[in-house]
Chains A and B, each alone.
Chain A
């Protein structure tokens, strides 16, 4: 789903994707940078939030620094007829940070629901996975936990000014 952005929206994205300035009136600072009225910038930010172009505004913890060092991608083989009902319930669990429906690749990859689970230990990830298993019940025909053992690259997605680089925006990441 695409939301068309005008030029001023793009300037706001470029000015804020690296973070908000740590000053008493951060939106005024952004507005001054791009030469717009602060009220207009705030109205546009509220609109981008309402449209879902901005998922949220706030702090993004570094989960490794907080001790969440065990990162498991749990994958589930869920009845196709029930995934629309089950997906949102799995996604709503406190322990799940990202949840997606993705295609199966039989025979080696029967899994169609992905839920990312983070914990301070693998035991914690396993306990959270057991909670997901209870929620899905007999609609799941199997699951696995794929732990990440190395981050090989993490540049994030950034929105750039150049034509080759137009869709790179810092967004939530999978780890």
Chain B
């Protein structure tokens, strides 16, 4: 990774300009050329250092309902239960975590009712009590990785 790559990662996680020639505007800030900025972002995406480039939308502002839920899954049933949860289209993310509550997943559906039905469905199919932890308030969302 060269100095321009680092500058791109450290200064361009937000504030990408909305104007006719945004890469030229960034190039001026970073003391380089429009072509270099485009080429470096393309290479970082290609290498998987960046997972995406563009607008980050807040899904909840656009409609739909969301929640975070957790299960405490016995070790010998873990793969089976994880497969049940993963198989539901409403499950957007699912993580294993080191804790008695060892399965954590985000549900996204069109309506709060659909979230409730999905939670009930998971309880019925796994026989495990579900911890429903919907967001009550959001204090900050932003990934600011400095390298």
Contacts and interface: CB of A to CB of B under 8 A. Distances in A.
A175 B48 CA distance: 17
**Chain A, interface SS category:** mixed
Interface string A114-153: 1000100000000000000000000000001011111111
**Chain B, interface SS category:** mixed
B93 A173 contact: yes
Interface residues of A, number: 87
Contacts of B132: 103
Contacts of A55: 56-58, 141-142
Nearest to A54: B55
A122 B57 CA distance: 30
B42 interface: yes
28 contacts: A20-B53, A22-B42, A24-B23, A25-B20, A25-B21, A26-B22, A42-B20, A56-B55, A58-B15, A59-B9, A59-B52, A61-B13, A61-B143, A61-B147, A63-B143, A87-B139, A100-B139, A101-B136, A102-B135, A149-B96, A150-B95, A151-B94, A152-B82, A159-B59, A166-B110, A167-B109, A168-B59, A168-B108
